[in-house]
Structure 1
């Protein structure tokens, strides 16, 4: 099993039970440490289904500086489908960390795990996620889920859905640019 993926000055370090204490220490001292650690515990820890890992959470470093977290979840091994998400520390936003991390996740999904599809989405009020997804080559708009979730104000809000297929990734990305670190 690998411990990290590297490309374009971004290193994604796989979150595992054995490095969790170090990650907690690394995430201290930022104004948004508490909500980021809550996200880590809720969404980025390893999960398994029938002995196979389904949740691949990473903490990300941009040029060696802690940037945030990104995630690939295998939603269905049978349908070879996954989904992705990300959270970035406030002081690192606007540097393209999330769209520049997608090639790593796509490599994991399509090359290492053999998936065929990776989906993502955002609530319509989340303009930063919209910009990030629209900057990511290969993601195609697939539809709107009406009032699919509740936003921070407690209101129902629509979610826009996007996805990339293996064949799109093969045409758009150079997999040799991602380095697997054992």
Structure 2
């Protein structure tokens, strides 16, 4: 079962990462990497908060050739916690990759939950809706290899915001404000 899920996630990511355009494109100037701050909140049997830093590229295709592409793509480094009392306090450092463009968002993260003396590693694919790569509502399923911490569900519903001045300006143009 887990092997099948990992194969599906790998194929999905391969489609996004290795697709090519058949057109001859004019070479663009190299894109510099930018830092995007990405806080969020999610429900995973209880309410958690997260704080992430994305190091990546911002897309702001204006004027668009056919359809505007606005969003962010890059490496995501973060931390999530539930801020509960001593016995129920959970913290999880994570590392992942995010692609959030115009109307869709996809992420793949590896994280390790710590609760008291327990530890649990998970692979977390997420997919969902995005508004210009800035506001993201995603559903994720944590694939656990141990299931040692029972107070964390495998299912999660997350709401996050990517904060960057250039991304904000691109979203203003996307919405026509």
Which has the larger helix fraction? 1
TM-score, with normalisation over the residues of structure 2? Answer: 0.28
What's the TM-score once normalised by structure 1's chain length? 0.28
- Asked which structure has the greater RCO (Cα within 8 Å, sep 6+), the reply is 1
When you count strand as a share of all residues, which structure comes out higher? 2
